[in-house]
Homo-oligomer: A and B are copies of this chain.
Amino acid sequence: MPLLVMKFGGTSVADLARIENAARKVRREVERGYDVIVIVSAMSGKTNELVGWVEQTSHLYDAREYDAVVASGENVTAGLMALRLQEMDVPARSWQGWQVPINTTSAHSAARFVSIPRDNIDRKFAEGMKVAVVAGFQGISHEGRVTTLGRGGSDTTAVAFAAAFGAERCDIYTDVDGIYTTDPRITDKARKLDRIAFEEMLELASLGAKVLQTRSVELAMRYKVRLRVLSSFEDTDETSGTLVCDEDEIMESKVVSGVAYSRDEAKLTLVTVEDRPGVASAIFGPLAEAGVNVDMIVQNISEKDIGGGPKDVTDMTFSCPVNQVARAKKALEDARDEGHISYADLVVDTEVAKVSVVGIGMRSHAGVAARMFSALAHENVNIKVIGTSEIKISVLIDRKYMELAVQALHDTFELEKA
């Protein structure tokens, strides 16, 4: 029997009417001949309520107890979904993490999958069950305690089940109808993509397109699980939404697939640092320890190399989320006070944004960067920092030009055209 995994997030199961709506989508797939594993989140708002209670009870809480409390939200949805399916004459039962069992590491609140044995669920499918409704976001440690996977863990649960059970596809039902070439709030020319490659989705996910968690896309890519993102709130069929898949499945890929942005970036420049081996490590080591998520890094050419100055000094520029600036400054000042690094000045610009173009076609097409820079220059947008990977080009610009830049790049690469 072919098998589908269907995942419904918190807004898709926010109340009994929405659970019924989701159950109808499950029944439709059963009627098409699939066995289905449904992964559910907690009803929207419930997890926040539980987290609030834990945080009010204890500041430095025991993560094992946090997990035991917080995982209960998914158990409620799983039972209600199974009941709703039964009411529609679909043989279904709920599964809590420990019942499957979903074996994870003991890293509470950030657990990782160890194994998902198929035996228990397969036996029930063999006995006539058509739908296994599994509580997402949770598992069990080898000590027998309840674990959670961290926020977004239900997406990851869905992908892991799709991999373990060899599902034909993993459908992620959410409150948007797919992945867009860019944020439709910024340009109404934004177009829904029919397909997108795993690598592109990864760049978009980590760049701020909040539809899918990075970790679930990584897992899907590793196990070649075809992911489909589609809307819970629309009538959908087999062609709805966006398929995230291996690039082999994408016939006619464009050079650029999408334009992503991240609004709340900061640029920090260390002025006049020594240009010697080990200095980068001396700077970015303390930042990593302080939990600063450094994104782009640019090192100026040293004065010595251009024959100008008397000393081997350079400037070092990096970006991080704007809410981590205070932490970054403290880490750098501490490192200077302890004599590990030296710098003349630390210049902080908290009014920047990052705009990126992403596409697997870039690998085989030259000139993408030039087209990008030309488009920005045409709009008089000054580029402060440039960073590149194999399939993306990112720039830091003044935040006030962000929307303008996204619109200009969307036009330049003709993303409104299919």
- Which A residues form the contact surface with B (CB < 8 A)? 16, 19-20, 50, 53-54, 56-59, 61-62, 64-66, 68-69, 72-73, 75-76, 78-80, 82-84, 86-87, 93-94, 96, 98-99, 144-146
Q: List 25 A-B contacts (CB under 8 A).
A: A16-B56, A16-B57, A53-B80, A54-B79, A54-B80, A54-B83, A57-B80, A57-B83, A57-B84, A57-B87, A62-B83, A62-B93, A65-B80, A65-B86, A65-B94, A66-B83, A68-B75, A68-B78, A68-B94, A69-B75, A69-B79, A72-B72, A72-B76, A75-B75, A98-B98
Give A82 to B65 CA distance when docked, in angstroms.
7
Which of chain B's residues has its CB closest to A54's CB? B83
A83 to chain B: which residues have CB within 8 Å?
54, 57-58, 61-62, 65-66, 69
A58 to chain B: which residues have CB within 8 Å?
83-84, 86-87
> Which of B16, B64, B93, B144 makes the CB contact (< 8 A) with A64?
B93
A82 to chain B: which residues have CB within 8 Å?
62, 65
List 13 additional A-B contacts (Cβ < 8 Å) besides A57-B84, A68-B75, A99-B144: A16-B57, A20-B57, A50-B76, A58-B83, A58-B86, A61-B83, A62-B93, A65-B93, A66-B83, A69-B80, A96-B146, A98-B98, A99-B145
Which of chain B's residues has its CB closest to A61's CB? B83
Give A94 to B54 CA distance when docked, in angstroms.
13
Kindly report how many copies of this chain are found in the complex they form together: 2
A50 to chain B: which residues have CB within 8 Å?
76
The 3 closest A-B pairs by CB, nearest first: A69-B79, A72-B72, A68-B79
Give A87 to B56 CA distance when docked, in angstroms.
11
A145 to chain B: which residues have CB within 8 Å?
99
A16 to chain B: which residues have CB within 8 Å?
53, 56-57
Q: How near does chain B come to A260, taking the closest CB pair, in angstroms?
A: 38
Among A20, A59, A79, A145, residue most surrounded by chain B Cβ atoms (within 10 Å) = A79
Q: How near does chain B come to A138, taking the closest CB pair, in angstroms?
A: 12
Q: How near does chain B come to A250, taking the closest CB pair, in angstroms?
A: 41
Give A62 to B84 CA distance when docked, in angstroms.
10
Q: How near does chain B come to A232, taking the closest CB pair, in angstroms?
A: 17
Give A59 to B79 CA distance when docked, in angstroms.
14
Give A93 to B143 CA distance when docked, in angstroms.
13
A69 to chain B: which residues have CB within 8 Å?
75-76, 79-80, 83
A62 to chain B: which residues have CB within 8 Å?
82-83, 86, 93
A56 to chain B: which residues have CB within 8 Å?
16
Give A145 to B72 CA distance when docked, in angstroms.
15
| Interface contact B53-A65, CB-CB below 8 Å | no
A84 to chain B: which residues have CB within 8 Å?
57-58
| Interface contact B68-A96, CB-CB below 8 Å | yes
